[in-house]
Chains A and B, each alone.
Chain A
Amino acid sequence: MSELILYLVISPFAAALLAYAFGKIDKQIAFWISEILTLSLFIAVLYLFFHYTNPISVDINWFKFGHFSIPIGLYIDHLSMVMLLIVSGLGFLDIHYSHDYMAEDPHQPRYYGYMLFFIGGMILLVSAKQLSGLFTGWELMGLASYLLISFWHEQKAPADSGVSAFLYTKAGDIFLFASLGLLFYYAGTLNMVTIDHLATSGKISSHVSFVVAIFILIAALGKSGQFPFFPWLLRAMEGPTTVSALIHGATMVNSGIYIVARLFGFYAAGDALIVVASIAALGVFVGATSALVQSEMKRVLAYSTMSHLALAFVGLGVGSLAAGMMHLSNHAIFKALLFLGAGAVMLSTNDTKDMWRFGGLKKPLFLVAIFMAMGALSLGGIPPFSGYFSKDAIFATTIATNHGDIITALTLIGGLLSIAYITRMWILIFAGKPRDIELFNAVKTPSKFWISLPLGIMAVATLVLGFFQKDLADYIISAKYIEPHITHMMPVILGAIISLAGIMYYFYYLRLDLVKKLIAQPLIKSIHNILLNGYYVERFITWFTHNIMVDFLAKVVTYIDIHLLDAVIDGTNDASHVVFNRLSKTNTKKSGDYTGGVIFLVGLVILTVMIGARA
């Protein structure tokens, strides 16, 4: 078993190098190396899944001397297993899909190298035992994300987006790094299971736990593209769609939730869950409302990702590990499906992202339309698709635990709105009449094997998984999951969902002209603009960093640096020149002089020994 886990962690990195190196010879080699490796990863994870009995732990002591040792441990339990299944399964499908999606790109070896590198980082993250290992995976993955967002770095927008993603997430990562130090100091270990245990049994003071938990939460919000760090997630859509699907829809953005789930006991002990729930509830609302008005389909999906991950955070925040993780797993599948579906649409329409230019695409892209509809139903929360059950569980727990009306209201509104924006998106793309005839006539039908098959697999998965939600929940918490019962919740929620879908059908299918008139109305136009720009959060952050951080704080620090620190250091430069010149005179280049040194030393030695022997 432990060899298999080592294989999982190491092989993606090795394969990344191979894919890059041999891909130079022939691009196909890079693809096949990636395809075979990811398939083997998925099979290995499945094997682990079916042969799992107890948490598997691999302990390697990197080195140890004195009281100092650096352990590197891997640890697979139910939580990690769910994540591993998601990463390897979706990773494989994504690579398979890339065969056609990236077919025209001249830089495929680089693409596959980065992708495998990313998968390696993600696997390391979810299977690490110590926070240090998790942090390593976290950073490797962040690097991969940066490289992949700016994959087309010859263009300005992707290059800038990569930098922006790197900086936003890095701002959070600093806090994770700080919490590593704090935990090592206060808990004496970085082993996450032990930390959880120590906190639950009260060995770590709850004040420390609270601060550390908030620090980790900041990093988690950054990595998961949550409010207020979400602008990078929107800009990340400049990368290839396969990257958006795997990294910014299904896996990397989950790592923030994973870390909170992994330290769930710690968060509970530090009373930090309420903070998680509050920030996340705001995120649910902001994401969902912003998604309602976007015109690019990838941006709709990005806001939806933010909103749904916030929902999962709310699930954790209100105290239900099972609900949060269930939603994470379901979301990973249907969001990857929707992203790749959007990718298929883009592939067929020569990279068009603007939904207003589509319409009526269900005829040429029949399979894609069907599969995306299934993903949309799951995202919207229609039973029996899996999305319904986890969303329902989060709603029920939120209402039952009652952490305040605002949290409940924001969560419910945001959660229910998802059906609205996804219906709008599907109708705009696939239903109605073509709005851009030229574009419509040029639509190519994508390959069934390379494009439609992975979509189909995911669509079936999101449907079938709906019937195993109870088992999934039980598996995650390793106990019987009991969902809180709220009277009349199901009819009310379903009623709301169906009426929202109906409204969208009316506006976007029957009366599209009305929508355009509505937007022209001044008040609605200004609200529309606020939503379209994501509540101007990015503009505020840019303003803040530019005016406060760069123009004010940085200038003060630079002044001190130049006039105080540098002055001192420049002084040492001159001093060391003087010392150097004096001492250089000892090097006379005459052998005879050098012998003097020997005689001096021998004299010194004899003298010392004589004095020492007498004493």
Chain B
Amino acid sequence: MSAFVLMFFATLFSLALHRTFVFKPFVLLMIVLSGFLIFLKTPVLMYGFAQSSATNLFLLVIFIALLAFTLSEDKEINITQSLFIGAASVLLLRGTTLLTFVFSFEAVSIISFAVVGHIRSSIQADGAVKMFISGALATALIVLGLALFTFGGGNFNLSLSNIHFNALMEVGLWVMLAGIFYKLTIVPMHSWAADSYANIKPSSAALLSGIAKSVVFVAVLKLFEPFFIQTLHVSIFILIVLSVLTMTLGNILAMFQKRVGKMLAYSSIAQAGYMLMVFIAVKDSYAQIGLLYLAIAYVFMQTALYLLLDNIGGGISDITLDDVKGLVKKDRLVSLFFAIQIFSLAGVPLLAGFMGKAIATYAVVDAGYWIVALIALLNSTFSIGYYGWFIKNIYFDHSVKQSRVISVSTSAKIAQIILLGGTLFFGIFAFAVFHTSFCSL
């Protein structure tokens, strides 16, 4: 039995357990068991799927993040949906053909709509609807691209290696990529994310921006790598412009935000820019490990931060910097979680975020695009501005009276410890990733 099958049926069965005390234990057990199946390398017994040590490592990371999510979240329906995201991730990361990619990508997307369906206020409705519109448009583009690709003579039931791409096929794949980039919040298609991530329930944003997004990134590099390598002379221009724009705009717009969720949303857009940057260096042998590392680090940091936001606000989505002022006096542990994960996002050494950025930048320099790497580094220093500002608010400001921050439950703290452990582990024991590095994704 593969992890996919187990997760899939666990999803269905967990519906029956809602509002019973066995629900959470059951879900936790299923996630652990699935993680164990990944560890045992049981294959998905279907055509078009294959596994590698790198994707298996990444799946383990995803499952650890899901474990933390389950511990931290209190809405049972969200937990069930997160299980489905886990199941779909297995397919998405192991798929080797366009077809498997498209349908598992849709599986992840559809469940994303369901996740944001938890609407309790008009702000959240705004976020959910924007998410839905963008998702529909992205799907349309992907299917359009697939159609163009097929008209050009491509077979979507094969992997993309060893294919000679003609112009129509290239256009098709690029239209498809445009759809995917839409979901990946690449500038100029980022604005929906800035609204959605900031307006929906923060724990949903944790699932979407922390887990789903990084899964898609890794899957895209894995699937489209041969395509990028073959047509890099054409696409390099697009990739450079998009990645530089994305990271710069994301960082600038994150700078003076008053709402924490909005700041994190823009920071997430900037992070997408860093990840896209690795695609420029796709021919370099460090590109894959660079992206893998970035994605792993990102899963821990982003999930942790949005979950924290959810915890301290009790699910409301418009926590502002004023609310978190002087948080350290109320809860030192939570402040520490915030600080370390933020430091990791900013790229402080010995934390996973630093290693991710370091290797990604190394790959880009190695591939000869040192100017892009330089821009990324400048952006990185730039970002310390608003990350530091956030920390300053937590640690050095006096709290305001109307603060809506509530106390955080123990299980949520355990979840944070798990995520913190990931950030620290992958920051210090880099060889865990390097071991898998040179087997390709």
Chain A contact residues, CB within 8 Å of chain B: 61-66, 68, 576-577, 579-580, 583-584, 586-589, 591, 593-595, 597-598, 600-602, 604-606, 608-610, 612-613
A-B CB contact pairs (8 Å), 22 listed:
A61-B431, A63-B434, A65-B286, A65-B359, A65-B362, A68-B362, A576-B256, A576-B385, A580-B255, A591-B129, A594-B130, A594-B192, A597-B187, A597-B189, A598-B141, A598-B189, A602-B178, A606-B174, A608-B234, A609-B235, A612-B231, A613-B170
CB pair A587 B252 closer than 8 Å: no
CB pair B238 A597 closer than 8 Å: no
Closest to A596 in B: B188
Q: Could you give, for residues 172-209 of chain B, a 1 whenever the CB lies within 8 Å of some chain A CB and a 0 otherwise?
A: 00110110011000111111101100000000000000
Whole-angstrom distance between the Cβ of A11 and the nearest chain B Cβ: 18
In the complex, A63→B429 CA distance in Å? 8
Whole-angstrom distance between the Cβ of A600 and the nearest chain B Cβ: 6
CB pair A595 B234 closer than 8 Å: no
Whole-angstrom distance between the Cβ of A48 and the nearest chain B Cβ: 26
Residues of chain A within 8 A of B174, CB atoms compared: 605-606, 609
CB pair B134 A577 closer than 8 Å: no
The answer, yes or no, to whether B441 is at the interface (CB within 8 Å) is no
In the complex, A408→B189 CA distance in Å? 80
Q: A602-B175, A609-B167, A613-B170 are in contact. Are A66 and B362 (CB under 8 A)?
A: yes
In the complex, A595→B130 CA distance in Å? 11
Residues of chain B within 8 A of A62, CB atoms compared: 430-431
Residues of chain B within 8 A of A580, CB atoms compared: 252-253, 255-256
Residues of chain B within 8 A of A583, CB atoms compared: 249, 252-253
Residues of chain B within 8 A of A64, CB atoms compared: 434
CB pair B238 A608 closer than 8 Å: yes
Q: Could you give, for residues 114-134 of chain B, a 1 whenever the CB lies within 8 Å of some chain A CB and a 0 otherwise?
A: 000000000000100110011
Residues of chain A within 8 A of B434, CB atoms compared: 63-65
Closest to A594 in B: B191
Q: A63-B430, A580-B252 are in contact. Are A604 and B238 (CB under 8 A)?
A: yes
The answer, yes or no, to whether B366 is at the interface (CB within 8 Å) is yes
Closest to B182 in A: A598
The answer, yes or no, to whether B289 is at the interface (CB within 8 Å) is yes
The answer, yes or no, to whether B375 is at the interface (CB within 8 Å) is no
Q: A64-B434, A591-B130, A609-B171 are in contact. Are A577 and B256 (CB under 8 A)?
A: yes
CB pair B191 A593 closer than 8 Å: yes
Q: A601-B178, A605-B238, A609-B234 are in contact. Are A65 and B189 (CB under 8 A)?
A: no
In the complex, A65→B437 CA distance in Å? 10
Known contacts A65-B286, A595-B137, A605-B175; can you find 16 more A-B pairs with CB under 8 A?
A62-B431, A63-B430, A577-B256, A589-B126, A591-B133, A598-B141, A598-B182, A598-B188, A601-B181, A601-B189, A601-B242, A602-B178, A606-B175, A608-B234, A609-B167, A612-B235
Residues of chain B within 8 A of A609, CB atoms compared: 167, 170-171, 174, 234-235
In the complex, A579→B382 CA distance in Å? 13
In the complex, A591→B128 CA distance in Å? 12
CB pair B430 A597 closer than 8 Å: no
CB pair B431 A66 closer than 8 Å: no
From A587, A595, A606, contact of B195 by CB (8 A): A587
Closest to A614 in B: B167
Residues of chain B within 8 A of A598, CB atoms compared: 137, 141, 178, 182, 188-189
CB pair A589 B362 closer than 8 Å: no
Residues of chain A within 8 A of B186, CB atoms compared: 601
The answer, yes or no, to whether B47 is at the interface (CB within 8 Å) is no
CB pair A584 B253 closer than 8 Å: yes
The answer, yes or no, to whether B19 is at the interface (CB within 8 Å) is no
Whole-angstrom distance between the Cβ of A581 and the nearest chain B Cβ: 8
In the complex, A602→B434 CA distance in Å? 36
Residues of chain A within 8 A of B21, CB atoms compared: none
The answer, yes or no, to whether B233 is at the interface (CB within 8 Å) is yes
Chain B interface residue count, CB cutoff 8 Å, equals 48
Closest to A70 in B: B430
Closest to B193 in A: A594
From A576, A579, A588, A600, contact of B188 by CB (8 A): A600
Whole-angstrom distance between the Cβ of B127 and the nearest chain A Cβ: 11
Residues of chain B within 8 A of A66, CB atoms compared: 286, 362, 366
Q: Could you give, for residues 283-310 of chain B, a 1 whenever the CB lies within 8 Å of some chain A CB and a 0 otherwise?
A: 0001001000000000000000000000
Closest to A592 in B: B133
CB pair A576 B255 closer than 8 Å: yes
Interface residues of B in 31-85 (CB under 8 A from A): none
Whole-angstrom distance between the Cβ of A585 and the nearest chain B Cβ: 11
In the complex, A579→B256 CA distance in Å? 11
Residues of chain B within 8 A of A605, CB atoms compared: 171, 174-175, 177-178, 238
Residues of chain A within 8 A of B192, CB atoms compared: 591, 594
| Central interface residue in A68, A583, A584, A598, by most chain B CB within 10 Å | A598
Whole-angstrom distance between the Cβ of A406 and the nearest chain B Cβ: 48
CB pair B170 A594 closer than 8 Å: no
Residues of chain B within 8 A of A63, CB atoms compared: 430-431, 434
Closest to A586 in B: B191
In the complex, A231→B16 CA distance in Å? 73
Q: A65-B362, A587-B194, A612-B233 are in contact. Are A594 and B189 (CB under 8 A)?
A: yes
In the complex, A577→B130 CA distance in Å? 27
In the complex, A68→B362 CA distance in Å? 10
In the complex, A587→B187 CA distance in Å? 12
Q: Could you give, for residues 231-248 of chain B, a 1 whenever the CB lies within 8 Å of some chain A CB and a 0 otherwise?
A: 101110110001000000
Residues of chain A within 8 A of B359, CB atoms compared: 65
Q: A63-B434, A605-B178 are in contact. Are A588 and B191 (CB under 8 A)?
A: yes
Closest to A611 in B: B234
Whole-angstrom distance between the Cβ of B272 and the nearest chain A Cβ: 14
In the complex, A597→B188 CA distance in Å? 5
In the complex, A66→B434 CA distance in Å? 12
In the complex, A593→B133 CA distance in Å? 12
Whole-angstrom distance between the Cβ of A580 and the nearest chain B Cβ: 5
Residues of chain A within 8 A of B126, CB atoms compared: 589
CB pair A579 B252 closer than 8 Å: yes
Interface residues of B in 364-402 (CB under 8 A from A): 366, 385
Closest to B129 in A: A591
Closest to A608 in B: B238
In the complex, A500→B217 CA distance in Å? 81
Residues of chain A within 8 A of B366, CB atoms compared: 66
In the complex, A66→B191 CA distance in Å? 38
Residues of chain A within 8 A of B256, CB atoms compared: 576-577, 580
In the complex, A612→B167 CA distance in Å? 9
In the complex, A61→B366 CA distance in Å? 22
In the complex, A579→B255 CA distance in Å? 10
Interface residues of B in 244-276 (CB under 8 A from A): 249, 252-253, 255-256
In the complex, A396→B235 CA distance in Å? 78
Q: A62-B430, A595-B137 are in contact. Are A613 and B178 (CB under 8 A)?
A: no
In the complex, A268→B194 CA distance in Å? 64
CB pair A613 B431 closer than 8 Å: no
Whole-angstrom distance between the Cβ of A573 and the nearest chain B Cβ: 9
CB pair B253 A587 closer than 8 Å: yes
In the complex, A579→B253 CA distance in Å? 9
In the complex, A355→B134 CA distance in Å? 84
In the complex, A586→B286 CA distance in Å? 35
Whole-angstrom distance between the Cβ of B148 and the nearest chain A Cβ: 10
Whole-angstrom distance between the Cβ of A449 and the nearest chain B Cβ: 41
CB pair A613 B167 closer than 8 Å: yes
In the complex, A376→B28 CA distance in Å? 66
Whole-angstrom distance between the Cβ of A365 and the nearest chain B Cβ: 47
The 3 closest A-B pairs by CB, nearest first: A612-B234, A597-B188, A63-B430
CB pair B237 A576 closer than 8 Å: no
Closest to A60 in B: B431
Residues of chain B within 8 A of A612, CB atoms compared: 231, 233-235
In the complex, A62→B235 CA distance in Å? 36
Closest to A606 in B: B171
In the complex, A64→B192 CA distance in Å? 40
Whole-angstrom distance between the Cβ of B173 and the nearest chain A Cβ: 9
Whole-angstrom distance between the Cβ of B195 and the nearest chain A Cβ: 6
Closest to B172 in A: A609
